[in-house]
Structure 1
Amino acid sequence: MSEPKRCMQAVLAGFGGQGILFAGKIIANAGLLEDRELSWLPSYGPEMRGGTANCSVCISDDPIGSPLVLNPDVLVVMNQPSLDKFEHSVQPGGLVIVDSTLVPRIPDMPGVTVCAVPATALAEEAGLKGLANVILV
């Protein structure tokens, strides 16, 4: 019996300067190391820091038709506005990972696993300020 086809569609979102795009690249590179099909699509506001930033990452056994992720099965958010924007788009059975240091409202999402991780606080306590994104990955 052959192994089932695998596909992950993720959205990572937060403010510019939090390393959202870099975190997406880490995930995309993991797919590359597994010799999988992948796409990484950044989206950010015109501000240098503090504006909105998000990226879509697809990793699949099959060719990817579109790099844009509208209904992710994985959502990683580092601020409340990003959670507010994307939480209702997560597929049933999906996973939401929230930086609970910066997101005061952790949602109860029936049919979706929500993991609250105090990533920013953990990074600062370890002397690794700016690596909360890597903790969430």
Structure 2
Amino acid sequence: MKQAVKLILIGLAAGAILAVFLKIIQTTTGNQAYDLLFETDYVPVLKQWHEVPGVGIAFHFLTCIMSVAVLFLLLKPFHLERRFLPYVLVYTIGGAFLYPLTALSARTPELADVAAWGLWTLGHALFSVTVGLLIKFW
């Protein structure tokens, strides 16, 4: 139970850092990579509720929490769950590969927006470092 609470808090903290980072980028540069965090157009069940306040935010944070818990549990049999590098590799590379989902919505950056892809990937690298450090040292 204590471990589950830690994983939830780590997911929330890292998700908040990712969101704040991309919001600062959006505010200062106008780049819309932030909008992809809360987009649900590519999730069939959630697509119909994208206009409901809070659905996108809940989706983002639940995704962050679940990704932390699932990766932790996947790494555990290999005794890698407390290592920093697997989190950095999986979330940074995974984030980079998730960016094409932007093509499935009119409310997100263009697929060919290299700056948005780079900032999105950098944000996920920041997420991964946060998760990796918190899991390793908390």
When normalised by structure 1's length, the TM-score is: 0.30
- Greater share of residues in helix: 2
Structure scoring higher RCO (CA < 8 A, sep ≥ 6) equals 2
Q: TM-score, normalised by structure 2?
A: 0.30
